[in-house]
Structure 1
Amino acid sequence: MSLHLSGWDDTIVALATPPGIGALGIIRLSGNKAIDVVNALFPSKDLHAQPSHTLHVGYLRSQEQTLDEVVVSLYKSPRSYTGEDIVEISCHGSPFIHQQVIQACLQTGARLAKPGEFTQRAFLNGKLDLTQAEAVADLIASNTEASHRTALNNIRGGFSHSLKELREQLVRFSALIELELDFSQEDVEFADRSQLRNLVHNARNHTQLLLQSFQLGNVIKNGVSVAIIGKPNAGKSTLLNALLNEERAIVSEIPGTTRDTIEEVINIDGILFRLIDTAGIRAHAADVIESVGIERSLEKMKQADVVLYLFDVNETPPAELEKTVADMQAQAIHPLLVANKVDLLDEADVRQKFLHVAGILFVSARSGLHLEVLKERMVDTVLHDKVKNESVIVTNARHYHALQEVYTSLTDVAEGLVNNIPGDLLALDIRRCLHYLGLITGEVSNDDLLDYVFSKFCIGK
């Protein structure tokens, strides 16, 4: 169903490809005068007489001046991305040509598009719901396989479909309960309370799973912060350089060389890990600067999603390691233990030395020994095989907060059924649940919400 509002009946234009020099640039128009605007600039043929989804080659002219030889793509309403007439002009990738073509379109009756306005029109015209529209922005911003896969699943309606059936069932029950209120004097019951209990039970479980997926969704969308901590000269900077496969951090035999935190990003199996090389932590710093660096290291450790505790197998007694781990666990920090410099000793002897400390990974940052095993453990710590091709994962904070309200409303409905509260109070809780479900998909919306959502898009999409 179209939600088209007044004030959205003009024609917009924008550059749809990244600004700058390239082989080609695409200028997109959408609106009821899109074909009129381009037809006035394209003397090669009458675009009104051409069928939809066709390409046309010719010269673009404005005020007796030839702007460029272009390919015009024609998509007539309603079979287009926005549901309106869309014309795309593929011209050569000169920023000067782009500017000239857009200016000619403006002079002929179009206006510049706002960020996300093409997708916003697709939403208003019923081509996408709000979750699918937001997934478009996520797909454009995706920079890993996992974020790409999740956004593509949501564009296909994976998340929307998981909410649609629940909403339809709740609407049906709400209507029956409302009908009961019209016959309140006759003490009739149209809505089967046992079916409603089952529905609410299943809905709460499903909503809880979606809420739990947000932690994983946040990882997929924003990456994982990994703090590499340990004593001075444990090999933290060497490990960072080895994981990045480049000399990013200064490495020396002098303890305390790293004075501040260094952050770099690495893609492991489709997940972004933000590696943070911290200043070595020791009880007595050599100077004020090192002390500040240690304080920042401790702060980063508490904020990180994953903590790698790196220690030198040659200089760390097992009892000291166990005490360090216990101290961190007392602060709700559960580190991955990484034993470094195993290449300097017999690895079997090293493993025997730390036999009673569980979960240690034995590596050599300098030689690259067992670093692939470390990478696999980092990914497993975050994902635990949770990302599937068709799994529904919540990545949007707005959806998460609305789902929290949905879960609260469903809990109130469940408690109301147990306590046999009147139908009018049950109807209120169900309507509140429907309201927040509608906020997610855009079936309940307001201008401020839409402006916020689409303002995060790039211009031209």
Structure 2
Amino acid sequence: MSTVVGGSDVICSLATQPGGAIGVIRVSGEEAIEITDKVFHSVRGRHLQNAKGNTLYYGEILDKEGNTIDDVLVSVFRAPHSYTGENSTEISCHGSAYILNQVVKALIDAGCRQAQPGEYTQRAYLNGKMDLSQAEAVADLISASNRATHKVALSQLKGHFSSELSILREQLLKMTSLLELELDFSDHEELEFADRTELKALAETIHQKIKTLTDSFETGKALKKGVPVAIVGKTNVGKSTLLNCLLHEEKAIVSNIHGTTRDVIEDTTEIKGVTFRFIDTAGIRHTDDQIEKLGIERAYQKMDEAAIVLWVLDEQPTVEECAEMQRLTQGKHLITIFNKIDNKTVEPKLVGAGLHTVYISAKLKQNITALEEAIYDAADIPEINENSVIITSARHYEALTHADESILRVIEALDFGLSGDLVSEDLRICLYQLADITGGQITPHEVLGNIFKHFCIGK
């Protein structure tokens, strides 16, 4: 994307997908209202140039030959009270792809330029309508696929993450200003404006706040991509039937023949508003079949990558098998599933201390709700609301990690009694990293381009 930073020209584009009952074209820029007025004919003879902000007008859009394209409603927004902070209009017409394209063409003929992906939100950022983290939240909100990701994106868009960073910034500035003041009076060695014990306590508080944010990134990734859940076990224990049951569709082939599943099958579903990515793996057994061997190798790989492992059984495991599974899933949430309880008169007792066991019949869909509850609990997702601050961006995580490294160096420097200028340097680095998240300082154009290129054209 060749980002036009600070451009004053007028841009236009579709803000909705074509083919619906209604379509919307967005226009923004200093002369947006005047250009829209060139192609708009009000049924009452009114001119948009004289319109107040936040008003609505009914009329027709005309092409350059004066032919009617469609009956429309035009919303007028005057700077700074618009999404971009610029003069803007939004044209609502019928959603035919032909009509929408003709309206855009008429606007371009009148002096507009086709907007680039993310350019509206980029202009909103450059005009101070939102900071950079809020701008990124717009894209997250558009792509939100479940209740949890929607709430996290909405929280970031409302500025809760920015507020956390603002508090950290104020604390860092306080430390920096005290140390800088000491440097200004370096000729007076007896002067100490910043008590080192208090500075260290403040630095440790900042470190803990940053760590809380970085620790939330694992949850953020899981919410965005889906919590990875591997379904493992021997052949023919009902793993594929269980996958189909959890997904509520026939995704995997089910057969009584051992080794039917030879490759990994993945799909997602929601449990309590959180996306889970279920991974059905090849049955684990000794085999001379080279293709099946590859599938078993992938099963171990997916088990290693998963946050939760469902170990499916249809008979009593040995002590050795329990110990081996616990070893393979160390650091993960292991749920042991006894399947085919419809064929058993007595529930088997699991050998192995501390193993969470759920008894089900995937075939008859018995106790699946209890299993879903166990899976949700194992994900350990914190309660999420519109005020929750959870890091979902790798860019934010990287900046916070570097900021934390800087503040840890500050703590170490204070412990060793190093000079204020050395401490101040790391404080400035920490400030820079936090400001990089919100765009608080001048951000290189190529960085802006990389952020906004992932937006759709209408945003």
Question: Which TM bucket (shorter chain)?
Answer: over 0.9
Give the 3 Å change call, closer, same or farther, for CA 107–134 of structure 1 in structure 2. same
Kindly indicate whether the alpha-carbon contact (under 8 Å) linking 1:328 and 1:334 is maintained by their aligned counterparts in 2: no
Q: Which residue of 2 aligns with 1:196?
A: 199
Q: Is the 8 A contact 2:119 2:457 kept in 1?
A: yes
2: CA distance, partners of 1:359 / 1:322: 12
Quote the Cα distance in structure 2 between the aligned partners of 1:110 and 1:329: 58
* 1:220 matches 2:223: yes
Distance 2:14 2:196 in 1: 55
1:27 and 1:146 mapped to 2: Cα distance? 30
Q: Which residue of 1 aligns with 2:277?
A: 274
Correspondence 1:373-412 to 2 at 5 A: 373-412=370-409
1:402·1:439 contact (CA, 8 Å) conserved in 2? yes
Residues in 1 aligned to 2:349 and 2:193: alpha-carbon distance in whole angstroms: 71
| Preserved CA contact (<8 Å) 2:307 2:332 | no
Distance 1:432 1:357 in 2: 46
Helix, strand or coil for the counterpart of 2:216?
A: helix
Distance 1:357 1:118, change over 3 A: closer
Deviations 1:64-98 (A, max 9, x none): 11111000001100111111011000011011111
Alpha-carbon separation, structure 2, partners of 1:389 and 1:380: 21
TM-score, normalization: structure 2? 0.94
Match in the other structure for 2:440 = 443
Scaled by the length of structure 1, what TM-score is found?
A: 0.93
Provide the alpha-carbon RMSD of the alignment. 1.8
Total equivalences in the alignment = 450
Within the candidate set 239, 242, 245, 2:245 is matched to 242
Name the residue aligned to 2:186: 184
Matched, 1:16 2:33: no
Name the CA distance, whole Å, in 2 between partners of 1:13 and 1:148: 27
**Cα distance, 1:335 vs structure 2:** 2.7
How far apart in 1 are the matches of 2:423 and 2:263? 57
Identity of aligned residues (%): 44
Residue 261 (str. 1) matches residue 258 (str. 2)? no
- Give the structure 1 partner of residue 69 of structure 2: 67
Residue segments in structure 2 that go unaligned for 5+ positions in a row: none
2:86 to 63, 67, 84: 84
1:116-165 Cα distance to aligned partner (Å, 9 max, x none):
11001111111101111111110000010000000001111111101101
Deviations along 1:11-66, one digit per CA (max 9) or x if unpaired, are: 11110002x31101100011001001101111212112111001100011122111
Distance 1:42 1:250 in 2: 58
- After superposition, residues 111-150 of structure 1 pair within 5 angstroms as 111-150=113-152
Is the CA contact 2:116–2:457 (under 8 Å) kept in the aligned structure 1? Answer: yes
State the partner residue of 1:53. Answer: 54
2:364 to 357, 362, 367: 367
Structure 1 counterpart of 2:112? 110
Match of 1:34 among 32, 35, 42: 32
State the AA in 2 paired with 1:336.
Answer: I
Tell me the distance in 2 between the aligned counterparts of 1:162 and 1:302. 34
Q: 1:223 to 1:317 in 2, by over 3 A?
A: closer
Aligned partner of 1:433 among 420, 424, 430: 430
* Counterpart code for 1:15: L
